[in-house]
């Protein structure tokens, strides 16, 4: 069985492989309109990967989209969108994905230290009665209806987060050569419990052990396993990353490590761990690790139980 199919089977066995979310129509229109505006000004538009970040900021477990215009290179009309106040940022929240312009900002990030994520905008000082060089910080958090402004360092409003959307229906088995079906799912009655917030070690059909845990943000699950003598990590993503190279970065008190992700079939993206410190961070002593996809912060990956689970899952293919 090819590597991509095996990893997809492992995730499907555990009920953790979602269907990819398609880019919302409003976000697609925003890209088309921005490129058209650039061409209308005599420029040549080029989108960098950081133009669109898929993240999760309203607590419903579904992908949200951020368009940051500092990632749009309008060659020949470079000042069309951006200036001393920064560049426009537009937010598209699930489930409606209506475009919400957030104004010109000089940078943005997501603070996930509280009960709900906080969108942090760095703005020009003129927006808060200061000189431009001083700058301001605007913090936005979901209040049950919208992203509302909160005080610097303040906590998100104490409101219930939106109810998570139901998991998509499982994929239908593909037709076999004789007209029947061939299914990658386990036999009837086999356990298909989704991963939890603590690392677990489970056995798949061929007797191999895999370690898995639920992920943050757009990362629905992380699975670590050996395949053909190679240590790999497979991430089930809730949304397809933007076109171009995709990089996973983990950071904690013990250090920082990155690994390129390659498509593994469906919503699964795979990292080869042979030449990366990712596996050692996962099996380390930190309580959690910050997870980034192409620089976009997804949240904290819990490491409870990871040391034993990851080491056992990779014992046949990686020496710690």
pLDDT attached to residue 7: 60
Structural domain includes residue 105? yes
Give dist(CA 271, CA 247) in Å, integer: 9
pLDDT single digits (tens) 207-252: 889 999 999 888 989 999 998 899 999 998 888 887 789 999 999 9
R_g of the chain, CA atoms, integer Å: 21
pLDDT attached to residue 204: 82
Is residue 213 domain-shared with residue 277, that is, in the same domain? yes
Q: Which domain holds residue 91?
A: 25-150
Is residue 80 domain-shared with residue 11, that is, in the same domain? no
Q: What is the mean pLDDT of residues 265-285?
A: 92
Structural domain includes residue 179? no
Give dist(CA 204, CA 227) in Å, integer: 12
Structural domain includes residue 174? no
Name which of 141-145, 262-266, 278-282 the model is least confident about: 262-266
Structure tokens at 36: 């058209």
51 versus 193: the higher-pLDDT residue is: 51
pLDDT attached to residue 305: 96
Reduced to 3 states (helix: H, G, I; strand: E, B; else coil), residue 88 is: strand
pLDDT attached to residue 54: 87
46 versus 129: the higher-pLDDT residue is: 46
Tell me the pLDDT band of 50, cut-offs 50, 70 and 90: confident
pLDDT attached to residue 139: 93
Is residue 231 domain-shared with residue 295, that is, in the same domain? yes
Q: What is the mean pLDDT of residues 277-282?
A: 96
pLDDT attached to residue 189: 32
Give dist(CA 311, CA 320) in Å, integer: 8
pLDDT attached to residue 173: 39
pLDDT single digits (tens) 86-141: 999 999 999 999 999 999 999 999 888 777 789 999 998 876 777 667 788 999 99
Structural domain includes residue 159? no
298 versus 134: the higher-pLDDT residue is: 298
Q: What is the mean pLDDT of residues 27-44?
A: 96
CB neighbours of residue 174 within 10 Å? 9
- Structural domain ending residue among the three candidates 150, 185, 209: 150
Residue 157 clears pLDDT 80, i.e. is over it: no
Structural domain includes residue 182? no
Is residue 9 domain-shared with residue 31, that is, in the same domain? no
Tell me the pLDDT band of 9, cut-offs 50, 70 and 90: low
Q: What is the mean pLDDT of residues 251-265?
A: 93
Structural domain includes residue 278? yes
Structural domain includes residue 216? yes
Is residue 12 domain-shared with residue 37, that is, in the same domain? no
pLDDT attached to residue 31: 97
Structural domain includes residue 251? yes
Tell me the pLDDT band of 10, cut-offs 50, 70 and 90: low
pLDDT attached to residue 222: 95
Is residue 206 domain-shared with residue 301, that is, in the same domain? yes
43 versus 237: the higher-pLDDT residue is: 43
Give dist(CA 241, CA 246) in Å, integer: 7
Is residue 12 domain-shared with residue 80, that is, in the same domain? no
Number of domains in the chain: 2
> Which residues are paired to 8 by β-bridges?
none
Is residue 100 domain-shared with residue 203, that is, in the same domain? no
Name which of 129-138, 219-228, 276-285, 286-295 the model is least confident about: 129-138
pLDDT single digits (tens) 59-75: 877 889 999 999 999 99
pLDDT single digits (tens) 159-200: 444 444 444 433 343 343 334 433 333 333 333 456 778 999
Give dist(CA 141, CA 131) in Å, integer: 26
Which residues contact residue 232 at a Cβ distance below 8 angstroms, ignoring those fewer than 6 apart? 3, 7, 224, 225, 226, 270, 271, 272, 273
Is residue 63 domain-shared with residue 127, that is, in the same domain? yes
């Amino acid at each position: 069985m090819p590597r991509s199919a095996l990893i997809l089977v492992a995730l499907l066995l555990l009920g953790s492989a979602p269907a990819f979310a398609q880019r919302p129509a409003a976000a697609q229109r925003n890209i088309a309109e921005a490129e058209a505006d650039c061409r209308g000004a005599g420029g040549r538009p080029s989108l960098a990967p950081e133009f669109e970040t898929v993240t999760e900021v309203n607590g419903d477990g579904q992908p949200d989209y951020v368009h940051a215009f500092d990632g749009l290179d309008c060659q020949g009309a470079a000042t069309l969108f951006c200036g001393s106040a920064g560049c426009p940022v537009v937010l598209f929240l699930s489930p409606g994905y209506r475009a919400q312009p957030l104004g010109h900002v000089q940078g943005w990030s997501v603070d996930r230290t509280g009960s709900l994520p906080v969108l942090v905008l760095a703005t020009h000082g003129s927006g808060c009665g200061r000189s431009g060089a001083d700058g301001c910080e605007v913090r936005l958090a979901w209040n049950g209806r919208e992203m509302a402004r909160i005080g610097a360092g303040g906590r998100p409003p104490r409101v219930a987060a939106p109810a998570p959307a139901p998991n998509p229906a499982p994929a239908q088995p593909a037709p076999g050569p004789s007209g029947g079906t061939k299914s990658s799912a386990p036999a009837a009655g086999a356990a298909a419990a989704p991963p939890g917030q603590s690392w677990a070690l489970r056995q798949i059909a061929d007797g191999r052990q895999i370690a898995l845990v639920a992920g943050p943000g757009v990362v629905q699950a992380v699975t670590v396993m050996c395949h053909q003598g190679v240590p790999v990590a497979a991430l089930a993503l809730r949304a397809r990353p933007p076109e171009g190279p995709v990089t996973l970065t983990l950071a904690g008190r013990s250090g920082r490590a990155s690994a390129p992700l390659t498509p593994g079939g469906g919503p699964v993206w795979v990292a080869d761990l042979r030449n990366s410190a990712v596996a050692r961070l996962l099996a380390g002593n930190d309580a959690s690790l910050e997870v980034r996809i192409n620089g976009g912060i997804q949240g904290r990956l819990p490491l409870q139980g990871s040391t034993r689970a990851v080491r056992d899952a990779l014992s046949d293919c990686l020496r710690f």
